[in-house]
Each structure stands twice: as C-alpha cells, then as structure tokens.
C-alpha cells in the first residue's frame, strides 16, 4: 500500500483527529476540559496545515499554520481559561438533549456531510481533498453543539470550533484562501472573542449567571 | 486627496478619535461633521463615477461601479441624517439615566466604525474581504444593541451575535466553495476572489460547485438580510437597541447584506444559466414576505412591528431581484432606496414618540398629534409611505414589482397582494390609533431633531412624483449589471 504518500496519510490522520475532537467536544460535560479539547483541535489543525505547506511549498500556508497555532491553540484558549477563572464558573456543561442522543444525531450529520462533499472533492486536485467531507462534518458537529448547549461559554466554543472546521475546508479544497482574506478572518475571530468576553461580564452582571436560558424572554407574543 | 480614500478614512479615523473624546459636550457635533464629510466625499465620488465610468482603487482591491456607488451614497446620506437625529436623542436618553458617559462614547465611536465597515463591504472587489467586512459590521453593532444593558437588550444582542455568527459562517463556507470553483479557472493566484476577474470567467465556473456555493451564500448573507427562517434576531435587535441603531440596521445593514447576495447572484447566473439562483431568491423572498406579514399583526411593541415591516420589504426586494431582468432589478433597486429612506425616517419619528411617551408598547401610545403635531404627522406620513400609498416613491417601486410579477410569474401575484394587504391592515390600524386621540405626555429636555424625518420623506415623495432622467439612467445601468 505504498501508493498513498506519507504526507497525504498524515493529513488524513490529522483530519480524523480533528473530527474525533469535534465528537469529544460534543460529549464533554465539563467546561475546562472542553476548552482544552478546543485547543487540541486548533493545534492539530495547525499541524495539518503545516504538513500541506511542507508538501506543496506554498509560502502563505506556513503563515496561516503559524497564525492558527498562535490564535486557536494558544491565544483563544488562554482568553477562555482566563474568562472562566475571572467569572468563577466551574459548573458542569448542561446539555438540552442527553449526550448519547446528540452523538447519534452527530453520526447522521457526518454521513450527510460526506455525501454533500463527495462531488466537490472529486473535482479537487489538492493533496488533501479527501478531508473536505471531514471539514464539513466538523462544521456541522460544532453547529450541533451550539444548538444543544444551554450555557454561554460552550456555545462560544462551538462557534469557534465551527470556524476551525471552515478553516480545514479552506485548506483541504483550495490550499487556503488568499492571505489578506485569512488575516481578515483571523482579526474578526479575535475581535469577536474579545467582544464576547465583554459580553459575558454584562450578562453575568445582569443575571448573576451565564445560563442563556435566562435569555428566552423575547418572544412574539 | 482621492475622494474614495477620504470616504473610507473619515469614518475610520473619526471612529477611533471618538473612542477617546466621545463623551465631550461637542462630540455629537464631531459625529455629524464626520458623517457630513463622508457624505460629501461619497457625493463627489458618485460624480466622478458618472463622469468617468467604473474605477478601481488600491490596485484591484476596491472596485466602484454604478451599482455600488449608488448604495454608497445612500449609506452615507442615511448615516448623516442619523447622526443629526441621534444628537438630541441620545442626550435625552442620558438625562433619563438610561446611558452613562462611557456608553455615549461607545455609541459614537461604534457608529462611525459601523459606517466604515459598511462602506468597505460595498466597495471591496474581493469577495473574501466582503465577508470580513460583513462580519465586522456585526461585531461593531452587537455592543450597540446591548447598549442599555437591560436583560432584554442583552438577550437581543446575544441572539444577534450567535444567529448572525452562524449565518455568516455559512457564507464563509460558500465563499470557500466559490474560491474553489474560481481557482480551477483562474489558477492559484491571489486574484481568484476578485469580483471583476470572476465576472469575466463566470461562464466557465463549475456549475455543481457554484450551485452549492450560492445556496450557502444566500442562506448565510440572507440571515443578515432578515430572510426567513433565520430572521429571528432582527425584531429583537431592532426593538431593544437604541433607535438610531435600529434606523441604520434597518435602513442600511440589510441593504449591504442584500448587495452581497446580488454580487454572488451575478456569478451564479453566469455558471448556471437555468435561473437556479433567481428561483431560489424568489422562493426565499416570497416565504419571508408572507411570514413577516402575518407576524406583523401580532406585534405589541412599535419598534418590533416596524422591524417586521423591514423583513417584509426585504422579502419583496429579494423576490424582485429573483425575478431578474432589467425591469425587475430596476424596481428592486428603487425599492431598496425608498425603503431605506422611509424606514429610517419612521424610526426617527418612532424614537421621538417613544421618548415622549416613555413606552414602546403601542397600546400605551396615544394622541401623538396632541403631544407634538410634527412628530405625529411624521409618523403618519412615514407609515403611509412605507405602506405603498401613492404618491410616495414606495408606491412606484411596489407597483413595478407587482406588474412585472403579473406578467412573468402570475402564480405569485395573489400571494404578493395578500401579504401586502395583511401588512397594510395591521400597520395602518395601529398607527392611526397612536397618532390621534387624547394623551398625557411630558416635555423633553432637548428638543428633538425633526429635520431628518421630513427630509427623507420629502425625497421619497419627490421620487414618487418624478424621477429625474439622470437617476433613471443610473438605476438602469446598475440594473443591467445585475443581469
């Protein structure tokens, strides 16, 4: 089985780890391990981008690998850890649907994602094309996590994990977006995380809790 | 200096300046002067574009043609009138104790930065940067929606952030797919997301990928337009944020998001000649229109009601662009303009009315004509205009959309008429009982700025009676570009 080059095997391995992390986040009940899982996903994403960069010699991919590592594996998890400590939240993550059911829904989503991505990855000529389905699956799993969690921080982790999946999609289908776009996206994510941090304090000040079930009063009569 | 650079630099620089000096006594004037500067440079830019045709700026980074320059002028104009309106309005809010000095500063600087992101989104040539600017527009307004820090406003801002975040993530996936399709034709250069390059090769883009990309882009940017079923953030954000923010969200942000969809539709139409993109837009537009019309009748809060009215009109405009062709596009663009001007005028009037009566619940607002005839008539005329009464301009554009639908898509006509009728009945009845009757309201410490309301309504009225030929030509050219 020497027909698949080592780099492609590595990329596929990393992609499956990313998917595994997406499932692990879906199953995780505690908030600090959830942030750590997110950090691991970011690190693996950076590693996978790095491998693509080395094999294809695309200069800008080195930059985006570095940016991913700095932003998603280090800076954002650090901000989230600080937030959790400052807000003094140690509760369990509550899920609106029980976790086994969520996992089954997750598996269905993965199958759907693979089917949607199949015609596109056949058109692609990149070394990492097989991972497009995984990327779409991670986006959908992160989305599922956002829907099923009732606390603010897990929702935000879901939001950021969704961005991870999108980044994987960009590298696997096209070797990454143009540099200026990637920088812009990174800036938006960072500013978004900071604004959310400010926002958490506002919510806490008002409700004495970060449970977003308090945020269900606005309805159409 | 280049008018284009000036137009982008003024809001950016003044936004940063206002983060420092935003609580000073003269800061509202600085806000107005900056908006005036932006408007003047955009007007000059429009003159240049009309005289010399489309142009680029900063290499190929920015692209200005007759389609976006008209939206740029509209955006800068409504930005200017909103900044005039918000001066006394925000001072009143501060004196009612709803806002601190720090939040006044936040409001003014974020307002200018929001203008910057919208102008950048409108003029950029790079579809990736368009995405970045749209997301930045959400980020600058999310703290404005929660400006009052009440439980309801925090909830609205949270919903706004999460729903638009999810929506915009889908748009990013669409952009990635678009880049993927483009790269196969244009090669691995940084130019494969430049709209001007893409439009030259739109016929060669891979149809299956483009179809999927357009679905994601439509649903993604559609969330920000307020298209059903992801419209839930819109009424909350409009009702709970300060009124000037509701005015710019409704009058401008929705337009910019719709503009993003239009740019993508041009590309999708090139790759998919069967009218796939248009049919999708017609479907979403009609669904949104009907849903909004029926929700309208159930509203109790005045700002929520007009927010649903914005959703309704966005549905109608999306439907018009979905029909395609020069006439329908012309009507869509005209309706976009009329809706922006009228809806922001209504929000100005509503802002003053709620400040006077101290409530947003429509049952408790009575006799606006007794409190202040000018505000009362402003709200009444604005409502008549938005409901499509002749001779206001909204009538002209709605009439064009309806007749075009009758000719080419007769099945849709009853649905359109029904939705417009339901909307008319629900809004008109409510506003009538708010404007007329007895009242017991108090005087405000700062006299409201009424000029913007009547300025907008006067333009809408004038355009309803007579559209000058150069404006017709201009709309026509823009309509042809959308195809």
- Interchain pair A188, B212: CB under 8 A: no
- How wide is the angle at C-alpha B343 spanned by C-alphas B47 and B87, nearest 5°? 80
CA distances, B282 to each of B218, B273, B396, B416 (Å): 12, 16, 20, 11
d(CA B216, CA A26): 24
Which residues, at least 6 apart from B276, have a Cβ–Cβ distance to it below 8 Å?
B211, B214, B268
Q: Which SS3 state, helix, strand or coil, does residue B64 take?
A: strand
Q: Are A139 and A26 in contact (CB under 8 A)?
A: no
pLDDT band at A111 (very low <50, low <70, confident <90, very high): very high
pLDDT for A121 beyond 80: no
d(CA A152, CA A134): 26
- Name the residue among A162, A175, A202 with its Cβ closest to that of B169: A162
Task: List residues bridging with B126 in a β-sheet.
Answer: B194
Q: Are B56 and B125 in contact (CB under 8 A)?
A: yes
- Predicted local confidence at residue A94, as pLDDT: 66
- Name the residue among A159, A205, A218 with its Cβ closest to that of B236: A218
CA A72 to chain centre: 9
Backbone φ, ψ for residue A29 (5° rounding): -100, -20
CA B398 to chain centre: 17
Quick: pLDDT tens for B171-189. Answer: 998 998 898 888 888 876 7
Greater pLDDT, A89 or B289? B289
- Predicted local confidence at residue A92, as pLDDT: 62
Return the percentage of chain B with pLDDT > 90, whole number: 47
CB contacts of A119 in chain B (<8 Å) are 208
CB contacts of A161 in chain B (<8 Å) are none
Place of tokens 């009362």: B376
HSE-CB of B234 using CA atoms within 13 angstroms: 30
Residue A75: CB atoms within 10 A of its CB come to 15
Chains A and B form CB pairs within 8 A to the count of 136
- pTM value is 0.91
Residue B59: CB atoms within 10 A of its CB come to 8
Quick: pLDDT tens for B409-443. Answer: 999 999 999 999 999 999 998 888 888 877 666 66
- Predicted local confidence at residue B360, as pLDDT: 87
pLDDT for A90 beyond 70: no
- Predicted local confidence at residue B284, as pLDDT: 94
- Interchain pair B172, A178: CB under 8 A: no
CB contacts of A155 in chain B (<8 Å) are 162
Quick: pLDDT tens for A124-162. Answer: 777 767 788 888 899 989 988 888 887 778 888 888 899
CB contacts of B180 in chain A (<8 Å) are 120, 124, 173-174
Return the percentage of chain A with pLDDT > 70, whole number: 89
Tokens linked to B267: 């590309």
Q: How many domains does chain A have?
A: 1
Task: List residues bridging with A30 in a β-sheet.
Answer: A92
Domain that holds residue A168: 6-220
Quick: pLDDT tens for B35-85. Answer: 999 999 999 998 888 888 888 888 888 999 888 888 999 999 999 999 999
pLDDT for A221 beyond 60: no
Residue A197: CB atoms within 10 A of its CB come to 16
- Predicted local confidence at residue B1, as pLDDT: 63
Looking at the domain assignment, is residue A36 inside a domain?
Answer: yes
- Name the residue among B139, B166, B175 with its Cβ closest to that of A195: B139
Return the percentage of chain B with pLDDT > 70, whole number: 98
Tokens linked to B51: 């005289």
My answer on whether omega of the bond before B391 falls inside 30° of 0, hence cis, is yes
d(CA B434, CA B353): 10
Q: Which SS3 state, helix, strand or coil, does residue B361 take?
A: strand
Q: Which SS3 state, helix, strand or coil, does residue A134 take?
A: helix
- Predicted local confidence at residue A1, as pLDDT: 42
Tokens linked to B171: 């748009």
Length of chain A: 221
Looking at the domain assignment, is residue A1 inside a domain?
Answer: no
pLDDT for A40 beyond 70: yes
Query: Mean of the pLDDT values across residues B80-107?
Result: 88
d(CA B106, CA B20): 9
Looking at the domain assignment, is residue A38 inside a domain?
Answer: yes
Q: Are A22 and A41 in contact (CB under 8 A)?
A: yes
Which residues, at least 6 apart from A145, have a Cβ–Cβ distance to it below 8 Å?
A25, A26, A154, A155, A157, A158, A161
ipTM of the complex: 0.87
Q: Which SS3 state, helix, strand or coil, does residue A205 take?
A: helix
- Predicted local confidence at residue A91, as pLDDT: 63
CB contacts of A159 in chain B (<8 Å) are 162, 165-166, 169
Of B337-351, B361-375, B408-422, least confident by mean pLDDT is: B361-375
Q: Are B48 and B71 in contact (CB under 8 A)?
A: no
Per DSSP, the residues of B293-342 read HHHHTT--BHHHHHHHHHHHHHHHHHHHHHH-HHHHHHHHHHHHHHHHHH
Query: Mean of the pLDDT values across residues A93-109?
Result: 83
Quick: pLDDT tens for B129-141. Answer: 999 999 999 999 9
Kindly give the residue spans of alpha helices, DSSP state H, lying in B22-150.
Answer: 27-52, 66-95, 101-123, 127-145
Query: Mean of the pLDDT values across residues B3-12?
Result: 90
- Predicted local confidence at residue B108, as pLDDT: 92
- Interchain pair A173, B177: CB under 8 A: yes
pLDDT band at B206 (very low <50, low <70, confident <90, very high): confident
pLDDT for A89 beyond 80: no
Task: List residues bridging with B64 in a β-sheet.
Answer: B55
- Predicted local confidence at residue A3, as pLDDT: 64
Looking at the domain assignment, is residue A60 inside a domain?
Answer: yes
Looking at the domain assignment, is residue A155 inside a domain?
Answer: yes
Q: Which SS3 state, helix, strand or coil, does residue B387 take?
A: coil
d(CA B319, CA A92): 46
Nearest CA-CA distance, residue B152 and chain A, Å? 7
Cα dihedral angle (A191, B113, A152, B310), rounded to 10 degrees? -140
d(CA B297, CA B292): 9
Indicate the DSSP class of residue B56: E
Tokens linked to B329: 């596009």
Q: Are A87 and A209 in contact (CB under 8 A)?
A: no
Query: Mean of the pLDDT values across residues B452-457?
Result: 88
Q: Which SS3 state, helix, strand or coil, does residue A108 take?
A: helix
CA distances, B89 to each of A176, B84, B93, B342 (Å): 47, 9, 6, 19
- Interchain pair B152, A218: CB under 8 A: yes
Nearest residue in chain A measured CA to CA from B210: A120
pLDDT for B257 beyond 90: yes
- How wide is the angle at C-alpha A97 spanned by C-alphas A96 and A100, nearest 5°? 140
- Predicted local confidence at residue B406, as pLDDT: 93
Place of tokens 């690998």: A65
Q: Are B105 and B143 in contact (CB under 8 A)?
A: no
Residue A215: CB atoms within 10 A of its CB come to 22
Backbone φ, ψ for residue B64 (5° rounding): -125, 120
Length of chain B: 483
d(CA B482, CA B452): 31
Query: Mean of the pLDDT values across residues A65-76?
Result: 90
The closest alpha carbon to B254, from B310, B303, B298, belongs to B310
Measured between its terminal Cα atoms, the distance across chain A in Å is 64
CB contacts of A192 in chain B (<8 Å) are 135, 139, 161, 165
pLDDT band at B483 (very low <50, low <70, confident <90, very high): confident
- Interchain pair B179, A192: CB under 8 A: no
Which residues, at least 6 apart from B389, have a Cβ–Cβ distance to it below 8 Å?
B395
Of A85-89, A213-217, B195-199, least confident by mean pLDDT is: A213-217
d(CA B260, CA B122): 8
- Predicted local confidence at residue A170, as pLDDT: 84
């Amino acid at each position: 089985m020497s027909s698949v080059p080592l780099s492609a095997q590595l990329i596929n391995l990393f992609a499956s780890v990313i998917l595994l992390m997406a499932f692990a986040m879906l199953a995780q009940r505690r908030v600090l391990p959830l942030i750590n899982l997110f950090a691991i996903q970011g690190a693996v994403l950076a590693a996978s981008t790095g491998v693509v960069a080395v094999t294809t010699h695309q200069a800008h991919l080195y930059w985006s690998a570095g940016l991913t590592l700095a932003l998603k594996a280090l800076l954002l998890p650090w901000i989230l850890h600080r937030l959790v400590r400052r807000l003094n939240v140690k509760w369990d993550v509550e899920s609106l649907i029980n976790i086994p059911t969520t996992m089954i829904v997750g598996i269905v989503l993965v199958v759907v994602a693979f089917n949607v991505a199949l015609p596109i990855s056949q058109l692609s000529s990149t070394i990492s094309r097989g991972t497009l389905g995984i990327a779409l699956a991670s986006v959908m799993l992160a989305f599922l996590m956002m829907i099923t969690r009732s606390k603010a921080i897990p929702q935000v982790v879901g939001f950021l994990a969704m961005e991870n999946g999108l980044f994987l999609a960009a590298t696997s289908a096209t070797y990454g977006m143009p540099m200026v776009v990637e920088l812009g996206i990174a800036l938006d994510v960072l500013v978004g995380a900071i604004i959310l941090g400010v926002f958490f304090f506002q919510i806490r000040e008002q409700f004495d809790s970060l449970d977003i079930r308090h945020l269900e009063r606005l309805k159409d009569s | 200096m280049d008018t284009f650079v000036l137009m982008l630099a003024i809001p950016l620089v003044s936004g940063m300046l206002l983060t420092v000096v935003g609580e000073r006594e003269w800061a509202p004037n600085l806000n107005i002067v900056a908006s005036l500067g932006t408007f003047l440079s955009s007007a000059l830019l429009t003159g240049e574009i009309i005289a010399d045709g489309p142009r680029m700026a900063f290499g190929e980074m920015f692209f200005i043609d007759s389609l976006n320059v008209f939206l740029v002028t509209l955006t800068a104009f409504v930005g200017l009138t909103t900044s005039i309106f918000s001066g006394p309005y925000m001072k009143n809010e501060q004196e009612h104790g709803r806002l601190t000095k720090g939040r006044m500063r936040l409001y003014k600087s974020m307002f200018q930065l929001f203008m910057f992101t919208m102008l950048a989104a409108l003029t950029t040539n790079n579809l990736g940067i368009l995405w970045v600017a749209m997301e930045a527009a959400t980020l600058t307004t999310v703290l404005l929606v929660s400006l009052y820090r009440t439980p309801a406003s925090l909830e609205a801002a949270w919903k706004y952030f999460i729903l638009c975040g999810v929506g915009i993530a889908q748009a990013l996936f669409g952009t990635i797919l678009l880049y993927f399709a483009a790269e196969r034709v244009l090669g691995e250069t940084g130019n494969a997301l430049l709209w001007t390059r893409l439009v030259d090769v739109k016929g060669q883009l891979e149809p299956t990928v483009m179809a999927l990309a357009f679905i994601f882009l439509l649903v993604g940017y559609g969330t920000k337009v307020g298209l059903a079923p992801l419209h839930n953030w819109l009424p909350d954000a409009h009702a709970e944020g300060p009124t000037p923010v509701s005015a710019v969200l409704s009058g401008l942000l929705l337009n910019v998001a719709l503009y993003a969809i239009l740019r993508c539709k041009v590309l999708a139409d090139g790759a998919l000649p069967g009218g796939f993109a248009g049919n999708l837009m017609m479907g979403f537009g009609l669904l949104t229109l009907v849903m909004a019309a029926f929700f309208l009748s159930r509203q109790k809060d005045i700002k929520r009601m007009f927010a649903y009215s914005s959703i309704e009109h966005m549905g109608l405009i999306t439907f018009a662009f979905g029909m395609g062709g020069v006439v329908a596009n012309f009507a869509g663009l005209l309706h976009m303009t009329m809706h922006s001007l009228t809806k922001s005028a209504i929000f100005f009037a509503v802002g003053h009315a709620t400040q006077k009566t101290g409530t947003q619940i429509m049952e408790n607002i009575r006799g606006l004509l007794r409190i202040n005839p000018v505000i009362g008539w402003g709200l009444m005329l604005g409502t008549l205009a938005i409901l499509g009464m002749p001779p206001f301009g909204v009538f002209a554009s709605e009439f064009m959309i309806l007749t075009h639908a009758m000719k080419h898509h007769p099945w849709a006509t009853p649905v359109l008429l029904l939705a417009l009728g339901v909307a008319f009945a629900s809004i008109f009845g409510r506003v009538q009982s708010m404007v007329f009757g007895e009242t017991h309201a108090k005087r405000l410490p700062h006299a409201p700025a009424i000029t913007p309301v009547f300025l907008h309504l006067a333009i809408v009225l004038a355009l309803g009676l007579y559209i000058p030929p150069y404006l017709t030509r201009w709309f026509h050219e823009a309509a042809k570009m959308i195809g």
